Structure 1
Amino acid sequence: MTGRRRPSSRPIRAAVAALSTAVGASLLTGCGTVLPNEADDAPITVMTWAPQGTKATNMPGMPAMAQAFARWVNDTGGIHGRELHVVTCNEHNDAVQAARCAQRAQEEKAVAVVGSYSQFGRAFISPLEVAGIPYIGGYGLTQEEFDSPYSYPVNGGQAALLAGNGRQLASRCEHVALVRPDTIAGDELPQLLSTGLKAGGRAAAQDVRAPEDAGDYSKQATSALERVGADSALGTAAQGATLDSSCVTAALGNRTGTFFDSFRRVQDDHPKVRIASILGSVRQSLVDSTGGSSSPLEGTYATGWYPAADDARWDPMKKVINKYAFDDNRIDPNDPGTQTTWIGYTVLRSVLMSLNANDISARTVRNALDDGHAVDTGGLTPTLRWGYDDTLHVPNYSRIVNAHVTYQVVRNGRLVAVRKGFVDMARTLENYHPAD
């Protein structure tokens, strides 16, 4: 994008279309009455995809939340009286399937892909760009989501989470090891975490690669403990640091629970080390399943995009879930995937309602967003805009408009906020230098 877009010609086209319809109706009826256009009542189709039933990370709550949102919208008047129709697709954690989901979005004539999850940005962004379909409120897992002009992210993605986690841990930990997936999407995580650590005056993170679908992570847990233990011992001699100031953070999605099981088994043979993670890896459901207030995750630090799950700003989403998806156990209101989908669809609805009912398409949705349409998310994010002057200057992440994160901790078995409000990571991310 090299500059501002030209003023939209949508009002002129709408006026011409209305005049043509009126003239045609007059010829048919002999008066000025406009006949209804059946196409104006056609459903508005959008798509949401996510992996389900795989051995790695699964996000079934995202398409389920999309369907619940559509039921709510349609039960409360639709979009200018038109039905919102959600098509879902199982991405299978597979690049070929991700591309097929994108191709299906074109076949279904979707006006947008909303609130979706995939680690294969290269596979799905290109087909969407060719079809001219905007990608609104994706989970934020891949660099392509923050580089394509057809993408409209609602959070700062993995970049903001990892840099934020580094800043959070810099105040607590002398040395940090990161256990992350040995994937293309995982390769950039250590540098992002280290950007936050360095901003807090700490050394770069130790990088521990791990398979994303393993059933045991004892080897990786041992490696992480040894690395921060060895570094801490050096720090003790040089700076008087203690081993208790070391931390291991994990970003393994659904497998983070499996990693922490392995971590607990090998930790007894090593110095005590604090554990941490990013939200999406540490979830309230994981804390509950590992003992609640007696969980070994008690005291774990976590960095998230949005307010803590017990914040009243989530009440509207929870009411929709309770009424329109009460018996759907795929939806966890505490899950950041569910929350991101809610925000993504909030953006979609706001944009659609701003358009002429007879002129809703992928092109008009993109034009409205590019022209700076502002979306109020009820305080779950800052006001969102994607105009030319709204994006941040982050290397490789040119589409970020929201770099806010929240600091949380597991306390008495609940993920709660460490401090009020958001922490803006924009300046830290602007100092990010991608590895060559």
Structure 2
Amino acid sequence: MILVSFVLMYLAIVKKFEPLLLLPIAFGMFLANFPLGGVNDLPNETMRFLGTLPEASKNIGSDPTFAAMLQSGEHLVQHINESGIAEIFAEKSNYGGLLYYLGRGVKLGIYPPLIFMGIGAMTDFAPLISNPKSILLGGAAQLGIFCAYIGACMLGFTPQEAGSIGIIGGADGPTALYLTAKLADHLLGPIAVAAYSYMALVPVIQPPIMKALTSKKERQIVMSMGDMRPVSKTEKIIFPIAVTTLVGLILPSTVPLLGMLMLGNLMKESGVVERINKTAQNELMNIVTIFLGVSVGSTATAEAFLNAKTLGILVMGVTAFAFGTAGGVLLGKLMNVISVSMGGKPINPLIGSAGVSAVPMAARVSQVVGQKENPSNFLLMHAMGPNVAGVIGSAIAAGILLSVLG
């Protein structure tokens, strides 16, 4: 496992594969597997019954063992039993290691929503508001999540494990970690490594699929910047409130992620809390990213990582990415046919691949592939609509899986 951590460090530092998270994950893995390091130790709590309240008062004064235990850091815990009689316990805790406590932020679902708030503070939803049809492409790209879920079930994973594996296809690391912590926290290490590794490999995984599913003529379709209507500040402010209200009422389990995403965006677009908006984008985001990466890496012990399940997760993870990309591109082709047949403007199907929520990397891939076919083509802003829609889509998909499987 230490050698695996070295490989991940190499990929983060030399190859620059998602270094902001892959490097802390790799080093957390290194620390957790370091012999006798103790950073990942669990707290060892022991309790000693002292009796009911009158009896306990006698024990406190007469029991030399208890007096010694008090001096060593024990404290009293009072408990009311079913009969209403107060009982006294002496409790002693051996404190856990550093990574155990940092990991509480992952296990309790604290870090991912905070990262979503930072993402929202950095995201411009104007391309999506300008072209609401983009949300369909963002939804279609979530096909990979449910295809991988079915495939993982067929490979023998439990439904909860399969849901955690499937969410890798959303290309959204925080969402994958949030759902996995809720459904199958023993898979946090392998799923984190798979999710962030494949996110880094989006420029490698997506182009062959995009080219295989589209013709040269389709890839050369020009989409003009003039096709995008201006978006007012009022629309930008109303959008996060409206989305949170609508989705939160229909699917309450999405609120922790989607609500924090929209809070961050509202802080950005309102323009009245610039100081905390910058904090959410920078200082807070960076601190939580470090804690999240190191904590997740610390779960990748040999027992949890070096097994057949990890191989299955890696296989199903790349399958999820492939099907997600294909779903977005195929719906883009269909939307182009419908738009042209109805006398509307053509739609380049390549922007559908940006429906996976790797922001803004997937949109850049659409731009690069399109410009190779037609140097005068600029798809980036058109692809950003499906791209940010994919962030919302992956959170909704996670909410559905959590509602059904949680």
* TM-score between both structures, scaled by the size of structure 2: 0.23
Structure index of larger Rg:
2
* Larger relative contact order (CA 8 Å, sep ≥ 6): 2
* TM-score between both structures, scaled by the size of structure 1: 0.22
